[in-house]
Amino acid sequence: MIRGVEADEFRRLRGGLVDLYLEAYRGLEEYAYRRRSDVKDYLQWLYKIDPKGFLVAEDKGEVLGFVAACRQWWDKNQGLMGEIHEIAVPPAHQGRGIGSRLLEEALKVLKREHRVFGLWVGERNFRAQEFYRRRGFAPVGRLGKWIRMIRRG
């Protein structure tokens, strides 16, 4: 089940979300925060910028992944748009459609206000790049080790 998270529940879940994030980035540490305190602060920022865009995938009470989207993001080339800031699914749960469902639900939230959606992905995170390409995102630029991808519609 994909669902939103209220503020008090987010605070309770945050420690587990830190663990989940660190596990999801195993082998891709160059694109991730590594210190638990930094991850905790990052997750707090993700939740704070758009609580309605923070969704978790859950099965029998266990959080299997999360997505953080923002309905009011400004991009210098695209203007006001929807942004996917993070999708995190640990390797043990990948390949089961969890990331796809998280992205789909986040896009539903964003589509209420926008028709252009963006995200950044690591230049050597080929699996994620292909994941996003298959779901309609196309590369439009790069900045350092990051590739900018946009989807319209």
Instruction: Report the pLDDT value the prediction gives residue 89, as an integer from 0 to 100.
Output: 96
pLDDT band at 15 (very low <50, low <70, confident <90, very high): very high
The model's pTM: 0.94
pLDDT band at 144 (very low <50, low <70, confident <90, very high): very high
Q: What is the 3-state secondary structure (H, E, C) of the chain?
A: CEEECCHHHHHHHHHHHHHHHHHHCCCCHHHCCCCHHHHHHHHHHHHHHCHHHEEEEEECCEEEEEEEEEEEEEECCCEEEEEEEEEECCHHHCCCCHHHHHHHHHHHHHHCCCCEEEEEEECCCHHHHHHHHHCCCEEEEEECCEEEEEEEC
Domains within the chain, CATH numbers bracketed: 2-152 (3.40.630.30)
Instruction: Report the pLDDT value the prediction gives residue 153, as an integer from 0 to 100.
Output: 85
pLDDT in tens, 37-72: 999 999 999 999 999 999 999 999 899 999 999 999
